[in-house]
Amino acid sequence: MRSSQDVRPGPIGPTGPSDLDAAASTALHPAARETLLAALDHGWADPRRLHKQARDARLLLDNAREVVAAELGLRRDDVTFTSSGTDAVHRGLLGLRLARSRVGRHALASAVEHSAVLHALEWAAATDGGSHDLVAVDRHARVDPDAVREALSPTTAVVAVQAANHEVGTLQPVTAVAEAIGDVPLFVDACAAVGHVDLPAGWAAAAASAHKWGGPAGVGLLLLRPGTRWRSPFPADDRVDPRSSGFENVPAALAAAAALRAVGTERAEVAARQRRLIDRVRGVAAGIEDVDVVGDPDERLPHLVTFSCLYLDGEALVTALDRRGFGVASGSACTASTLEPSHVLAAMGALTHGNVRLSLHRDTDEETVEAFCRALPEVVAELRR
């Protein structure tokens, strides 16, 4: 038996173990880390109180909302900080639905929405007897605005279409969907998109998640357009912002805002580099026999790619690549801990097993990607043998 001193990681890439799973979470952006440490000394108080420390915290919270609003082209009052992206999804989607309960309790969603959306609709239907339908997508995971319009019913209270798919990166025609559905409010899960691409137009409510762009985990954004009818689907709380509940994490909110501003200034350069590197991975993967690269090759997030390998198990691929020093994902991005088959890939008509999802961090370099490209064909061949 080896002692603890003898334990070593497996083979690694040229720069050490490489996390290529930024779609799950990214490391703190340096701007977020610096802001977080400074804000811990000044933003610890309850911003709802009236004493000086509380007023300081309230100013920091308002400043964070101002920064986020400026980066997304919104007003400060449109921005609410929540406890996570999932919480923001639930509040935004269910709040739109509840506000139109007199119209009906029917909802529509694309078949490739994140599980946070699907679970929220299932919960709502079980709670009040409503219903929801899923609109099919094409082989790139893109929904057709005309198909959404045709699926509307007189009792449809809300439509949910994501900004970009969290598993394959395909950008959705959000603005066209909004035009197609008319007065029915559109909820947009933008968790995978914010920080990487522009927030599309046409939504009534949207959600985002700070750990996707280099902010701290545990910070989400609920975005509401002015004049949007929305009612809280959860018990009320007498906080600073009535659209949220619980004690605001002011230092984390400020750090999230700082990270969003920082990635905004560098986004064009980072996105161009990431797109070039992902194109390299797509080309290598497509050159391997019986490997299918999925998602739109052009209209997509710049940092993400998914491909499926026939005759292989996703868990085996993840494990083998991890031994080579590359941390990637497989299965559904919603339930990756259990490696359940992806409902996104199933809806696209793609192979649901043997898939690998690779997503780049802002500082993932060319050397790391080239090392992955050398390792991938070898790993696939070894496992197939």
- Per-residue pLDDT of 152-179, as tens digits, reads 999 999 999 999 999 999 999 999 999 9
**Minimal CA–CA distance to 110: which of 132, 89, 125?**
132
Q: How far apart are the first and last CA of the chain?
A: 30
Tokens of 61: 């919270």
Which residues are designated catalytic? 334
Crossing angle for the helix pair 366-384 and 250-286, to the nearest 10 degrees: 60
Fold agreement between 14-28+267-384 and 30-261: no
The pLDDT score that the predictor gives to residue 30 is 95
Would you kindly state where each structural domain of the chain is located, as residue ranges? 14-28+267-384, 30-261
Rounded CA separation 308/351 (Å): 6
* CATH number for domain 14-28+267-384, candidates 3.90.1150.10, 1.10.1330.10, 3.10.20.30, 2.40.50.140: 3.90.1150.10
Q: 30-261 has which CATH code?
A: 3.40.640.10
The pLDDT score that the predictor gives to residue 17 is 60
Listed as ranges, residues in the chain with pLDDT below 50 are 1-16, 333-337
Rounded CA separation 181/215 (Å): 34
Total number of residues shown for the chain: 385
The pLDDT score that the predictor gives to residue 332 is 54
Distance of CA 71 to the CA centre of its chain: 18
The pLDDT score that the predictor gives to residue 2 is 39
**Minimal CA–CA distance to 324: which of 99, 22, 9, 83?**
9
Cα–Cα separations (whole angstroms), residue 131 to 16, 81, 98, 107? 49, 29, 13, 6
Rounded CA separation 272/267 (Å): 8
Crossing angle for the helix pair 30-39 and 250-286, to the nearest 10 degrees: 160
pTM: 0.91
Residue type, 156: T
Q: Kindly list the strands in the beta sheet with 220-224, ordered across the sheet, starting from the edge strand earlier in the chain.
A: 79-82, 220-224, 205-209, 186-189, 156-160, 106-110, 131-135
Q: Across the strands, what pairs with 224?
A: 205
